[in-house]
Amino acid sequence: MSLDSSVTAPFSCDELDACLDEAGIEVLLATSKHSIQHLLGGHRSTFFSHKDGLGPSRYLPVFVYVRGRPEATAYIGSQLEAHQAKVDPFWTPNVSLKPVGTLDAIAEVVAHLRHLGVRPVRIGIEKAYFPLEAAEALATAFEQAVLVDAMHPLERMRLLKSPHEIELLRLASQKVIDSMVATFSRAAVGMTKRGIAELLVEEETRRGLNYEYCFMTVGRDLNRALSDQVLRDGDIVSIDSGGNESGYIGDLVRMGIAGDPDQELVDILGAIDAVQHSAFRTIRPGVTGDDIYRAAAETLERSDIARHTHFLAHGIGLVQHEAPRLTSSGPIAYRGTHTDKPILERMCISVETTCAHPTRGFIKLEDTVAVTADGCELLGEGARGWNRIGG
């Protein structure tokens, strides 16, 4: 099946060519669902949205791009996407929806490249999302080729969010906050953590979000796993949840309490909020990751909770931790590519400050901002103080 080759790609082919040229990649094979969604302009398989397994193999979508030849671009998907393609056709000039497993998909890739007369020496793949049997089949077909990781060029393509992407992040963030407020209102003393999380799932789903996860603490316990732990009078509750709007993540944290907070709790949450706002005031085009961390550290050091608290900022979009990568020393190991490089307008950043207090429990705020021309804008706001359990 072929589509009109005059259809415009939902990204700059010149920009992709430049990214691939810098990485020395002649042919790109993108296979992660988030890369596929971005490169196809929003498509995500309905059947394989949550799982990839099918029979003895798995779903392996492949976006095939030959550097400098956008007219040769192909999407190789599954026969189970055929109905979606009829409703919302793919922009790619070449489409194959015959494969039912990884080896079928690679066979289609090989056939397409041979039809084009392409014998690549350097093929870019997403190594973390490319099965071994697929890599072996590709290496057999192109014995001269070297497989190199294309993660960084693909991340660079997602680095600056479009207005539509920012709006999706805004919707996701606000809906998560609103869902948390409703959950705190509906929760009651005597409920378990699992029971409260079920309320959150209902609220996020009712607002059209795709629920992804919930971490929760109750009382002084620092364990965030869902369990049958019971909420008691006076307990504090932290809810950390991710729900996505068309794949874009709303990842936020808000606090609740079964009763009224005493002054110490008010002060702790206020100190955390002050750290958050010091980061908000700092984030703007031209500053680096180090600048953001320095501003947060200076505010935190003036508080009484510094020794129990840590700050984290990271890129967010289709993936929870994506570029810009602002630190090399966070809880998730990766190289901080923007510790000393300027951030740019339209980058989106998650900002989180966490206090694991030894006597009061787990107290945290997390927000998402979009970098604007002269600062940053909160994507989702409200409920930053102590939210009363049961309204």
Predicted confidence band at 333 (pLDDT cuts at 50, 70, 90)? confident
pLDDT at 4: 42
Q: How far is Cα 80 from Cα 83, in angstroms, rounded to an integer?
A: 7
Return the closest-CA partner of residue 261 out of 277, 239, 241, 237.
237
The set of residues, in sequence order, having a beta carbon less than 8 Å from that of 136 and lying 6+ positions away, is none
Provide the domain count of the chain.
Answer: 2
Q: Does the pLDDT value for residue 5 go beyond 50?
A: no
Rounded to the nearest 10 degrees, how much is the dihedral formed by the CA atoms of 218, 390, 265, 273?
A: 100
- 343-355 residue pLDDT tens: 999 999 999 999 9
Rounded Cα distance between 288 and 294, Å, is 10
Residue at 8 is within a domain: no
**Residues contacting 99, CB < 8 A, separation 6+:** 60, 76, 77, 78, 79, 105, 107, 108
DSSP 149-162: E-HHHHHHHHSSPP
- Give the pLDDT confidence score for residue 250 in this predicted structure: 97
Kindly state the average pLDDT of the residues 240-262.
97
Pair type for strands 386-388 and 248-257: parallel
Tokens at 171, concatenated: 């919707």
pLDDT at 245 over 70: yes
Q: To the nearest 10°, the Cα dihedral for 163, 166, 172, 176?
A: -140
Q: Which of 158, 175, 204 is the last residue in one of the domains? A: 158
pLDDT, mean of residues 302-319: 97
Domain residues for the domain of 102 are 13-158
If asked whether residues 216 and 352 sit together in one domain, one would say yes
Residue type, 292: I
Work out whether the CA dihedral 39, 332, 369, 193 comes out positive or negative.
Answer: positive
CA dist 105 and 77 (Å) reads 7
- Mean pLDDT value across the chain: 96
Same domain? For 110 and 125 the reply is yes
Instruction: List the one residue out of 74, 65, 75, 72 whose CA is nearest residue 123.
Output: 65
Average pLDDT on 243-264 reads 97
Q: What stretches of 161-293 adopt beta strand conformation (E)?
A: 210-218, 236-245, 248-257
Least confident segment among 39-53, 188-202, 285-299, 327-341: 327-341
194 and 307 in a single domain? The answer is yes
Predicted confidence at residue 8, as pLDDT, reads: 87
Q: Residue 330 — very low, low, confident or very high, per pLDDT cuts 50/70/90? A: confident
Q: Encode pLDDT of 72-104 as tens digits.
A: 999 999 999 999 999 999 999 999 999 889 999
What the block records as the tokens of 243 is 């729900």
Strand, coil or helix: 321: coil
Strand partners, 236: 257
Alpha-carbon distance 115 to 166, whole Å? Answer: 39
Contact indicator for 78, 100 with CB cutoff of 8 Å: yes
Confidence of residue 6 (pLDDT cuts 50, 70, 90): low
Task: Indicate whether 227 and 146 sit together in one domain.
Answer: no
Give dist(CA 226, CA 240) in Å, integer: 11
Cα–Cα separations (whole angstroms), residue 254 to 32, 133, 173, 183, 371: 31, 44, 12, 11, 22
Rounded average pLDDT over 278-295 = 98
**48 falls within a domain:** yes
What's the CA gap between 348 and 344, in Å, rounded?
A: 9
Distance between CA 95 and CA 127 in Å, rounded?
23
pLDDT of residue 3: 38
Mean local confidence (pLDDT), 111-128:
97
What's the pLDDT at 13? Answer: 96
CATH number at residue 384: 3.90.230.10
Whether residue 113 is found in the same domain as residue 252:
no
Query: What whole-number distance in Å separates Cα of residue 302 and Cα of residue 281?
Result: 17
DSSP helix, strand, coil percent of the chain (3-state; round to 5): 35, 25, 40
Looking at the structure, do residues 352 and 262 belong to the same domain, yes or no?
A: yes
What pLDDT sits at residue 2?
A: 41
pLDDT of residue 1: 34
At which of 158, 191, 221 does a domain end?
A: 158
pLDDT in tens, 36-51: 999 999 999 999 999 9
Tell whether 43 is covered by a domain: yes
For residues 233 and 369, state if they share a domain: yes
> Pick from 158, 193, 212: which residue ends a domain?
158
By CB neighbour count within 10 A (0-12 exposed, 13-18 middle, 19+ buried), where does 189 fall?
middle
